[in-house]
């Protein structure tokens, strides 16, 4: 059975990714590590725990990084709301912290499972960068890393060049890419081809369960925000769920090996670009997803998540 860690900044599409992951029958989610990103870490940790409660799933949650390595994170709530979940949960109350923090959990799990472990990241790469920096000899034994981030052959979504997860902490992303870990990059090149639409939300409304009603609220916020910013898409991108899909079903995508680095110059900050000036002995460091079987992914995603949301878990909510 595949061993998986999710590293998230929950986040509406992270919430959808979590629901998709816990609906999988043949994986063991060892734990979920949280970081700042779409909201401060105390919110993303609370949001993660609440999603698991709504879905009646018991998975350990570990709080991680609070800030980027060298930059200041400014939150505006435009896409995900001020609380990260479409303003459905509001101000965070004090949460009980785990005795084990996220980076320590990532290192310990890698030490235990080595090549059998897959880490799927759907937020800034700060937690992973700190794990590699703290224990490089251990982290280089990991089986696979699947990262939602970047825009290699398509425009960015927070600037002309940059995708949000990379731009939030570009130094950590650049460090991770250059660490020669087994990374598959699931970027905007493919995630914009997988969409949640109004029709999908209407089907959730019809399920009538507490979990479906909750998911409908925050998904509608996400869809409405996309409708204002990207009306041509006719839906909102399933960025983070696709990363989960690729982590479990790599046949969903076609990849190209590249030597990727992150542009740290201010004029193109956060751009994920292929380094064409590499030395002859240097090898590609990232498998970049450039094509996706969007129909196969969306069929699997909605089949499994719809089934999950159809189960009445009202006693847990």
Q: What is the CATH number of the domain that holds 258?
A: 3.90.245.10
In a domain, 184, yes or no: yes
Q: Is the alpha carbon torsion for 64, 69, 72, 74 positive or negative? A: negative
Number of domains observed in the structure of the chain: 1
In a domain, 266, yes or no: yes
Query: Residue 229's pLDDT is what?
Result: 82
Residue 224's domain comprises: 2-310
In a domain, 317, yes or no: no
In a domain, 315, yes or no: no
In a domain, 98, yes or no: yes
| CA separation for the pair 211, 234 (Å, rounded) | 25
Query: Residue 269's pLDDT is what?
Result: 96
In a domain, 316, yes or no: no
Average pLDDT (218-247) is 92
In a domain, 127, yes or no: yes
Read off the pLDDT of residues 148-158 as tens digits, 9 standing for 90 and up: 999 999 999 99
Helices (H) and strands (E) counted in the chain, each on its own, are 12, 12
96: pLDDT strictly greater than 70: no
pTM (predicted TM-score) = 0.96
Which residues are catalytic, by number?
Answer: 9
In a domain, 113, yes or no: yes
Please list, in sequence order, all residues whose beta carbon lies within 8 angstroms of the beta carbon of residue 74, skipping any fewer than 6 positions away: none
């Amino acid at each position: 059975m595949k061993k998986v860690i999710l590293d998230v900044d929950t986040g509406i599409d992270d919430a959808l990714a979590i629901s998709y992951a816990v609906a999988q029958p043949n994986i063991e989610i060892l734990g979920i590590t949280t970081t700042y990103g779409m909201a401060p870490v105390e919110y993303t940790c609370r949001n993660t725990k609440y999603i698991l409660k709504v879905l009646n799933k018991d998975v350990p949650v570990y709080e991680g990084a609070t800030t980027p390595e060298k930059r200041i994170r400014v939150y505006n709530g435009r896409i995900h709301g001020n609380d990260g979940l479409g303003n459905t949960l509001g101000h965070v109350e004090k949460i009980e912290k785990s005795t084990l923090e996220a980076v320590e959990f990532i290192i310990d799990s890698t030490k235990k499972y080595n090549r059998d472990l897959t880490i799927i990241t759907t937020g800034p790469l700060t937690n992973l960068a700190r794990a590699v920096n703290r224990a490089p000899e251990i982290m280089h034994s990991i089986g696979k890393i699947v990262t939602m981030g970047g825009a290699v052959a398509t425009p960015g979504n927070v600037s002309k060049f940059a995708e949000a997860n990379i731009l939030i902490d570009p130094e950590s992303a650049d460090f991770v890419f250059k660490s020669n870990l087994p990374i598959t990059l699931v970027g905007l090149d493919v995630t914009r081809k997988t969409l949640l639409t109004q029709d999908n939300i209407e089907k959730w409304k019809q399920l009538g369960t507490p979990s479906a009603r909750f998911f409908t609220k925050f998904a509608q916020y996400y869809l409405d925000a996309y409708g204002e910013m990207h009306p041509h898409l006719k839906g909102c991108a399933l960025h983070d769920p696709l990363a989960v899909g690729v982590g479990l079903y790599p046949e969903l995508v076609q990849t190209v090996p590249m030597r990727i680095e992150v542009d740290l110059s201010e004029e193109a900050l956060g751009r994920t670009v292929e380094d064409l000036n590499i030395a002859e002995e240097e090898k590609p460091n990232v498998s970049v997803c450039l094509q996706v079987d969007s129909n196969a992914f969306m069929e699997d995603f909605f089949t499994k998540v719809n089934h999950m949301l159809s189960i009445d878990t009202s006693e847990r909510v």
